[in-house]
């Protein structure tokens, strides 16, 4: 079963024509590996994001908020699960292998989950800035993604991510309408999260970016990043907060915000598991994985 | 552990649609997992969960003999052309009456 292409040229012509690849197609190895690595990193990030969210369940103020943090945690772990299923079907690593690699620090997850969320304000900033950035990247993949199973599962993930973003903005609204202490806490969180969220889009796409050539991504990193800046800078201003970019400038002619030069060093560090909170995050994820081994053993025992 | 495929349907005209897959230890847990993974926000009113081993699958190799069966289609072109000609004749007659 599945289709075969004579060579890479024929395969790329198929993709350029809007062709969608299915799991049992005989896709070129480079494509299979590139798509797999991309989905694996996405899955890892959802999983690590879910764990960050979980950290805040006991500390979330108010029952309603606590319930929505529970819901969001379940969503994020669920996103990880959906993506691990899609990735595992590609036949490169099993889900267990992917999780073990993640716990051993051998595979990557997004930069934003290498930082510490210090206050409830950080959780709000994450839901508002990071979920929005993740949503924008996912939408750009969904739009045109040539790998069918990934595209279809993204549809569901994106609709849930929208809930997170709306939740984030509403929490920010409450804080903006709150006391000075609340506002100060949130400004501190924005100062910590603005740059990591912006760096989530990555440095400018290279001209030979395979993910663009193979229609996995539909938009260049710098274009997505700029759209995010144009949307979120005015929004932060409208809620009365300061954008922590010392070179922030508005161009009257182009009607665009410019955040100035971006330091990519912090991003590089996180990709090498050297972010400010990487070691703790990975260690706690591993401890959690080991502490819940009994549940997986019970499930295995229930297998017929 | 077995892999299951999940299909959802909302009440109304829509057909069952594939939602995704999951791993579960047995059939009972597969249903619970399907609810918790795919139906948290009323994505469907009914669900089918099928062990992947029980799915019968085939692809183009199997289906392609049916691709070359023009006698199973009819484009109705000649009839449409005749109807169109008749309509035009009608309207030009109506035009002459004015
Ligand atoms: Fe997510
Ligand atoms: Fe999210």
Q: What is the DSSP string of B7-67?
A: EEE-SSSPPPEEEEEEEESSHHHHHHHHHHHH-SSSS-SEEEEEEGGG-----HHHHGGGG
- Residues of chain A found within 8 Å of residue B54, distances taken between Cβ atoms: none
Q: What is the ipTM of this complex?
A: 0.88
Q: Are the C-beta atoms of residues A124 and A171 closer than 8 Å to each other?
A: yes
How close, in Å, is residue A152 to chain B by CA atoms? 8
Name the band, by pLDDT with cuts 50, 70 and 90, for residue A2: confident
Closest CB from B18, B20, B26 relative to A303: B26
CA distance A141 to chain B (A): 18
Domain ranges of chain A: 8-301
Cβ within 8 Å, pair B2-A89: no
Mean pLDDT of chain A: 95
How many angstroms separate the alpha carbon of residue A131 from the centre of ligand 2? 5
Helix (H, G, I), strand (E, B) or coil at A135: helix
Ligand in nearest proximity to the CA of A128: 2
Res B98: pLDDT: 53
Q: Which CATH number is B2-97's, of 4.10.95.10, 3.40.50.1580, 3.10.20.520, 3.40.50.620? A: 3.10.20.520
Give me ligand 1 centre to Cα A211, in Å: 21
| Residue A162 and residue A36 in contact, taking contact as beta carbons nearer than 8 Å | no
Q: Do B59 and A2 touch (CB under 8 A)?
A: yes
Terminal-residue alpha carbon distance, chain B? 81
- Whether the pLDDT of residue A226 is over 90: the answer is yes
Residue B63 buriedness (CB in 10 A; 0-12 / 13-18 / 19+)? exposed
**Neighboring chain A residues of B18 at a CB cutoff of 8 Å:** 152
Mean pLDDT, chain B, as a whole number? Answer: 93
- Whether the per-residue pLDDT at A155 is higher than 70: the answer is yes
3-state secondary structure of B5: strand
- The Å distance, Cα B58 to ligand 2 centre, comes to 37
Rounded average pLDDT over A244-271: 96
Ligand 2 center from residue A35 Cα (angstroms):
21
Q: Quickly state the pLDDT bin for A300 (edges 50, 70, 90).
A: confident
Whether residue A115 has pLDDT greater than 60: yes
- Summarize the confidence of residues A239-264 as an average pLDDT: 96
Residue A236, min C-alpha distance to chain B (Å): 30
- Cβ–Cβ below 8 Å for A78 and B2: no
pLDDT at position A149: 97
State residue B97's pLDDT score: 58
Is the pLDDT score of A22 beyond 80?
Answer: yes
| Residues in contact with A269: Cβ distance below 8 Å, sequence separation at least 6, in sequence order | A114, A275
Query: What is the residue whose two structure tokens read 């669920």?
Result: A78
Mean pLDDT of B79-93: 93
Give the ligand at the shortest distance from the Cα of A44. Answer: 1
Q: How confident is the model at residue B59 (pLDDT cuts 50, 70, 90)?
A: confident
B26 with A302: Cβ contact below 8 A: yes
The pLDDT score that the predictor gives to residue B95 is 67
Which helix (H) or strand (E) segment holds residue A143: the answer is none
List the structure tokens of A231: 């949307």
- Give the pLDDT of residue A254: 95
Split at pLDDT 50, 70, 90, the class of B1 is: confident
Report the distance separating Cα A93 and Cα A36, nearest Å: 9
Residue B20 has pLDDT above 90, yes or no: yes
Contact A160, A79 (CB under 8 A): yes
A222 burial level (CB within 10 Å; 0-12, 13-18, 19+): middle
What CA dihedral angle connects A277, A280, A286 and A292, to 10 degrees?
A: -110
Segment A172-225, tens digit of pLDDT? 999 999 999 999 999 999 999 999 999 999 999 999 999 999 999 999 999 999
Confidence of residue B96 (pLDDT cuts 50, 70, 90): low
Nearest to A185 by CA among A119, A232, A116, A117: A119
Q: Which residues contact A32 (CB under 8 A, 6 or more apart)?
A: A90, A91, A92
The rounded Cα A80 to chain-centroid distance in angstroms is: 10
Helix (H) / strand (E) element for A294: namely: helix A293-302
Q: Does A274 have pLDDT greater than 70?
A: yes
> Which stretches of chain A sit within 8 Å of chain B by CB?
1-3, 24, 71, 74-75, 78, 81-82, 85-86, 89, 95, 152-153, 156, 160, 299-304
Where do the structural domains in chain B lie, given as residue ranges? 2-97
For A85, the closest of B18, B22, B43 (CB atoms) is B22
Under the banding of pLDDT at 50, 70 and 90, the label for residue B94 is: confident
Interval A53-78 mean pLDDT: 94
**Displacement of CA B40 from its chain's centroid (Å):** 24
Between CA A15 and CA A13 the distance in angstroms is 5
Q: Point out the residue among B1, B21, B60 whose CB comes nearest to the CB of A303.
A: B1
CATH fold of A8-301 reads Ferritin (1.20.1260)
Cα A72 to averaged position of ligand 2 atoms, centre (Å): 7
- A131-158 average pLDDT score: 95
pLDDT over 80 at A303, yes or no: no
pLDDT at A232 over 80: yes
> Ligand 2 centre and the CA of A154: distance in Å?
12
CB pairs under 8 A between A and B: 54
């Amino acid at each position: 079963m599945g289709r075969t292409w004579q060579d890479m040229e024929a395969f790329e012509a198929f993709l350029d024509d809007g062709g969608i690849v299915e799991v049992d197609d005989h896709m070129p190895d480079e494509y299979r590996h590139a798509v797999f690595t991309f989905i694996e990193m996405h899955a890892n990030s959802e999983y690590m994001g879910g764990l960050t969210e979980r950290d805040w369940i006991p500390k979330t103020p108010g029952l309603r908020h606590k319930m929505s943090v529970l819901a969001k945690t379940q969503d994020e772990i669920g996103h990880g699960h959906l993506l691990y299923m899609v990735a595992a079907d590609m036949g490169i690593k099993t889900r267990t292998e992917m999780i073990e690699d993640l716990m051993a620090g051998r595979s990557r997850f997004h930069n934003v989950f290498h930082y510490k969320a210090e206050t409830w304000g950080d959780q709000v900033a994450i839901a508002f800035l990071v979920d929005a950035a993740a949503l924008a990247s996912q939408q750009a993949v969904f739009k045109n993604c040539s790998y069918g199973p990934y595209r279809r599962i993204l549809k569901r993930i994106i609709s849930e991510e929208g809930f997170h973003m709306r939740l984030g903005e509403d929490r920010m609204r409450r804080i903006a309408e709150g006391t000075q202490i609340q506002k100060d806490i949130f400004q501190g969180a924005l100062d910590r999260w603005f740059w990591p969220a912006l760096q989530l889009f990555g440095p400018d796409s290279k001209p030979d970016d395979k993910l663009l050539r193979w229609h996995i991504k539909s938009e260049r990193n710098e274009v997505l990043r700029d759209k995010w800046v144009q949307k979120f800078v005015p929004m932060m201003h409208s809620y009365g907060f300061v954008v922590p970019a010392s070179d922030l400038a508005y161009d009257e002619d182009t009607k665009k915000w410019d955040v100035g030069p971006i330091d990519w060093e912090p991003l590089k560090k996180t990709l090498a598991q050297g972010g400010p909170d990487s070691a703790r995050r990975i260690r706690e994820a591993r401890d959690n994985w080991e502490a819940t081994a009994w549940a997986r053993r019970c499930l295995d025992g229930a297998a017929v | 552990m077995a892999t299951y495929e999940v299909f959802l349907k909302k009440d109304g005209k829509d057909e069952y649609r594939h939602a995704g897959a999951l791993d579960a230890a047995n059939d009972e847990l597969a249903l619970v997992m399907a609810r918790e993974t795919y139906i948290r926000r009323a994505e469907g009113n009914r669900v089918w969960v099928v062990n992947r081993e029980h799915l019968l699958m085939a692809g183009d190799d199997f289906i392609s003999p049916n691709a070359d069966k023009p006698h199973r289609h009819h484009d109705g072109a000649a009839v449409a052309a005749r109807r169109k000609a008749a309509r035009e004749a009608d309207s030009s007659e109506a035009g002459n009456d004015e």
